[in-house]
Structure 1
Amino acid sequence: MNSLVKPQRVKVAVATPTAPDGGYAWFVLLSCFLVFGLTFGVIKAFGVFYVEIHQYFETTATGTSWITSIAVATIHIVAPVASALSARYSHRSVVILGGLICSIGVIIGSFAHNLIGLYFTVGFLNGFGYALTWTPTVTMLGLYFEKRRPVANALASAGECILTFLLTPLIQLLIDSFSWRGALLIVGGLQLNLCVCGMLLRPLKGTRHKSHASDVKAEEEGMNLESLTKDDSEQSKHCLEEVGQRLPEGSDQRKVKKGYSLEELDEKPTTIDSKRRAKRTELRTKILQYVDYTLITNARFMVYSMFGVFAALGFFAPALFLVPYARSKGIEEYQAAALMSISAVFDLFGRVFFGWVANLRLVKTVQQLTATVILLGTVLLLCPLASSFPELAAFSAAYGLVFGATVAIHITVLAEVVGVQRLGSALGFFMLIRSSGGLLGPPIAGFFIDKMSDYGTGFLMAGVALIISALFLLLLHQMNRREQRSTQKTHDMQLDNMGQTFSAEAKELDVTLTMEK
């Protein structure tokens, strides 16, 4: 009697998606461009709010700086969560959610009655939303671009410069017209555009290959599987009988008889241990799909993360204190705000130009990053020498140019350290580790400003932190060279072994031919 063949489940193999480096990738680049502008661009323009909030609540420089500090730290800490949520759901939905959260946080913050309220809304909620928007978008950009990745990262990060250039005088105008509360309310509404950025993110799909089998082949495979199971069952029974015969007659363990079933065999301790190991392996595999925690064992990644910690100490303080520093030197409001616009213009040029230079591969990207970080630290150390508007404008131009050159390639270096397939988790962990620097940078600078009663000391602290961060980049470069030498040595040894094997075979062939002659 012929039995019906049950439909077999057909496994679908999905090929690894390839980066198109064009087409819809440009819309993803546009989305990332706007995300950079509406997140870090707003943070850099917050220096205009700093002066007004500082005077309104009559607080210290350290107390006011905690607003930006909490936002920056939250971005970094929540980045791994954003990566995991993107892997579990989708990049698009996570970015839309983040846009709603940060917009609501800033809008509620415009009604805050004390600094604690601003810490929670403009600081924590806003930073939480930024993390959910920035991290998935940058990850998606890395997947869509490969050959043009340095240029793509540079163009995307240019959104931070352009929005800073536009928002700084605009926010000053809004503050003069509607007070800092009204200006903050309008900025919160503007950040709803982050939801539109999320809608532009389309998943990069791979080619799906389905293996179709006929019913006859499926039936034959089922028969083969059944016969294989029977053979295994008979071998297991035979082995169990032999073990039972070797055990003592009175032993409780001699309960293995000829009819011992495979279900009873599964209850043995060794099988239970193997099941537990299989469950642990399965759980580990599921976790790694969302968060690649093995990155913390990667020495090169951890060294690069330490660079990020010290770099974050100096990255965010200058943008926050540039306008207050200019105001303390007697520069009028709109001229002080114009300094941020000057910095943003040169920042834009630095990102695009040095991103293009990195794409030429004239030097190794980590070497280029080391040089720009050292230059940035040096420029910040020279800032207290500027006091007039022309001098401050020159400093702003130099600071923006070198800052743009640094930011344009630091994500590209991260992709080279861990590989593009691990970029999502690596970016999350990198931001998490760097969070300590982002959290402590502005308050430490504010502490020195309060003690010395001079905003210039904040720039000195930032410059020293960046010089220290460059030391970790030098260490990373040495580790890369050592790894390359080790790889080259292994390759040479393999070639030598192949050559020796070929020579031995040739000699044997010559001996054989000689004997035959």
Structure 2
Amino acid sequence: MVCCLNGPISFIKKHWSLVIIFAAMIHCLFFGGFIFSYNLLYLELRKSFNSTATETGVPGAISISLFSWCSVVVTFFFQKLGHRATVFIGVTLCCLGLLTSSFAQQISILYITYGVFYGLGLSLTYVTIIDLIIRNFDKRNATRATCSALTGVSLGLLAAPWIEWLYEKYSWRNTLRIISGCLALVGYSTGLVMIDMKPTHVKLSIACEKYENDKCSGGPICDSSKDGDNIETYTQTHSNKEVYAVEKKMDTKFEVDLIRNKSCIAKYIAVLKRRDFTISLPGILLAATATMFTYISVGNFLFEAGMDNDHIALVIVWMGIGDLTGRIIAAVFSDGLPISRTFQYALSNVVAAAPSVALPFISSSSGLTAALIIMSVPRAILNVLLPSVAMEISSDETRSEAVALIYMAFGAGTFITPYLTDTLFDNTGSYVMPWFICTTLYLISAVFLLLAVYAKRKHERTSIQKYDRVEKDDCEIAKTELK
């Protein structure tokens, strides 16, 4: 019996990255699909609390922005606690947030229960899963892997009619309680597989010591023409026994952990020193502000245009199909295109600006639906390319930190959305100006990303090393703290 199981078990271990992608897709289907269907909850909350458009949009903006903005904090969580434990904590916060939201008597309470609890919980699960995926794939296949996992979000948007039916039949309060139970079942189940069966990262403390040993002995790190020029790549070329022998040289576990924490800060500093990366951050922020308008307030826009809730739910389904199409396009073609992911991100902004500027002039329901479907395609590409863009304009050893900072900028842009768009609607009674502002933001974002592409090419021409490396001085600073 045991012999018969050895084959399937070894096969699963060998292809564990595919197991992670499948579990991530199911996870995103429920958790991501619900948060990005906030347009439907928006209508229910505005009717229940008789709140303004801005007040109603804030809970959704807080939750979506926190799930991105807290990415830097999340990196410390999964580096300290592990990926599985971090996902479990996130699932617990999400379920607690929805459950407590169902008892809220004021819209401001939802800022904490739905906005903070659900947003922070989703950040703990989402960013952790993305990090686990990019750890198992190289840069050539990173976009394909992340897009495949994140198609679950698009599939989740297809459940909009079912969510609307729950709102009508059981009220939004009971619906949140039902969905809370579903998320607990799915979240804890998928979280069980969120472990790295084939680790690719070695503690930086070990890398620093190996760096010093080889530097003193004239080892391969001294030769810039070899892969040893990159600390992480160099340490991975050594056997487990060699790495273990080096790790044994560290006096205590406390010392290892302290150096690792210090080196993590050094990695963030190394990422922010890159000009191409810092130039891209404002572009990511502006694109997030424009993109999230369609996830938060487009339901109210359609309601003001004369559509009923059932029709709006159907439009969201069609937008979900457009979203899924965009993710599939990115998954199939992005890695093979002769242009960089950063340049693809800039082009997607330009494409998204076209339907955005046209929407204020469309009056028919079919025309509005068609324009929103077209917009959903580049919108999805903008969302799924974020990890790949971060990896492209950072080094191999700082990819996790780069992804965290990119999502932090994305979250900051999301938080601005209701104050920039719904506030204008409250003051003017029209969504014409918000659409024009979103168009402008898309185009300015494209300019920033094109500048980042230019800066990256300049960085590659002037850089002596193949990859940026956390400097030896940073390692020495970390160790000095121990003395």
TM-score (norm 1): 0.73
Stretch of structure 1 that moved more, 104-113 or 305-314: 305-314
Partner residue of 1:380 out of 320, 332, 356:
356
Partner residue of 1:163 out of 149, 156, 162:
156
Query: How far off its partner does 1:365 sit?
Result: 2.0
The 8 Å contact of residues 143 and 330 in structure 2, kept in 1 or not, is answered as: no
Q: Does 1:389 align with 2:365?
A: yes
Q: Does 1:286 align with 2:279?
A: no
Q: Which amino acid aligns with 2:263?
A: L
Alpha-carbon distance between aligned partners in 2 of 1:388 and 1:22, rounded to the nearest angstrom: 53
Aligned twin of 2:4? none
The alignment covers a number of residue pairs equal to 404
**SS of equivalent to 2:103:** coil
Which blocks of at least 5 consecutive residues in structure 2 are unaligned?
1-11, 201-237, 244-253, 467-483
Aligned twin of 1:181? 173
Query: How far off its partner does 1:290 sit?
Result: 7.0
Alpha-carbon distance between aligned partners in 1 of 2:433 and 2:170, rounded to the nearest angstrom: 33
Identity of aligned residues (%): 19
Stretch of structure 1 that moved more, 420-429 or 368-377: 420-429
Query: How far off its partner does 1:451 sit?
Result: 1.2
Alpha-carbon distance between aligned partners in 2 of 1:321 and 1:440, rounded to the nearest angstrom: 13
TM-score (norm 2): 0.78
Alpha-carbon distance between aligned partners in 2 of 1:145 and 1:285, rounded to the nearest angstrom: 23
Alpha-carbon distance between aligned partners in 2 of 1:378 and 1:39, rounded to the nearest angstrom: 30
Alpha-carbon distance between aligned partners in 1 of 2:409 and 2:347, rounded to the nearest angstrom: 23
Alpha-carbon distance between aligned partners in 1 of 2:102 and 2:372, rounded to the nearest angstrom: 29
Alpha-carbon distance between aligned partners in 1 of 2:381 and 2:305, rounded to the nearest angstrom: 28
**SS of equivalent to 2:297:** helix
Aligned twin of 1:219? none
Q: For residues 79-90 of structure 1, what are the structure 2 equivalents within 5 Å?
A: 79-90=71-82
Partner residue of 1:107 out of 99, 110, 135:
99
Structure 2 CA distance for partners of 1:185 and 1:460, relative to 1, 3 Å: farther
Structure 2 CA distance for partners of 1:127 and 1:282, relative to 1, 3 Å: closer
Structure 2 CA distance for partners of 1:324 and 1:138, relative to 1, 3 Å: same
Alpha-carbon distance between aligned partners in 2 of 1:78 and 1:408, rounded to the nearest angstrom: 18
Q: Does 1:116 align with 2:114?
A: no
Alpha-carbon distance between aligned partners in 2 of 1:456 and 1:106, rounded to the nearest angstrom: 33
Query: How far off its partner does 1:320 sit?
Result: 1.8
Q: Which amino acid aligns with 1:70?
A: I
Alpha-carbon distance between aligned partners in 2 of 1:337 and 1:352, rounded to the nearest angstrom: 23
Alpha-carbon distance between aligned partners in 1 of 2:387 and 2:454, rounded to the nearest angstrom: 19
Partner residue of 1:470 out of 432, 446, 456:
446
Alpha-carbon distance between aligned partners in 1 of 2:355 and 2:13, rounded to the nearest angstrom: 35
Q: For residues 215-230 of structure 1, what are the structure 2 equivalents within 5 Å?
A: none
Alpha-carbon distance between aligned partners in 2 of 1:429 and 1:76, rounded to the nearest angstrom: 9
The 8 Å contact of residues 44 and 320 in structure 1, kept in 2 or not, is answered as: yes
Alpha-carbon distance between aligned partners in 1 of 2:173 and 2:367, rounded to the nearest angstrom: 32
Structure 2 CA distance for partners of 1:135 and 1:282, relative to 1, 3 Å: closer
Stretch of structure 1 that moved more, 88-97 or 406-415: 406-415
Structure 2 CA distance for partners of 1:431 and 1:110, relative to 1, 3 Å: same
Structure 2 CA distance for partners of 1:141 and 1:211, relative to 1, 3 Å: closer
Query: How far off its partner does 1:208 sit?
Result: 5.1
Aligned twin of 1:445? 421
**SS of equivalent to 1:331:** coil
Moved over 4 A (4+): 279-285
Alpha-carbon distance between aligned partners in 2 of 1:79 and 1:58, rounded to the nearest angstrom: 33
Aligned twin of 1:432? 408
Q: Which amino acid aligns with 2:144?
A: V
Partner residue of 2:192 out of 185, 188, 199:
199
The 8 Å contact of residues 92 and 201 in structure 1, kept in 2 or not, is answered as: yes
Aligned twin of 2:37? 45
Q: 1:277-335, CA deviations, whole angstroms, 9 ceiling, x for partnerless residues?
A: xx999956532247733122222221122222111111211122222222212222211
Query: How far off its partner does 1:416 sit?
Result: 1.0
Aligned twin of 1:218? none
Stretch of structure 1 that moved more, 417-426 or 174-183: 417-426
Aligned twin of 2:146? 153
Q: Which amino acid aligns with 1:153?
A: T
Q: 1:469-491, CA deviations, whole angstroms, 9 ceiling, x for partnerless residues?
A: 11110110111222233359x99
Alpha-carbon distance between aligned partners in 1 of 2:458 and 2:176, rounded to the nearest angstrom: 51
The 8 Å contact of residues 318 and 459 in structure 1, kept in 2 or not, is answered as: no
Aligned twin of 1:299? 275
**RMSD of the TM alignment (CA)?**
2.6
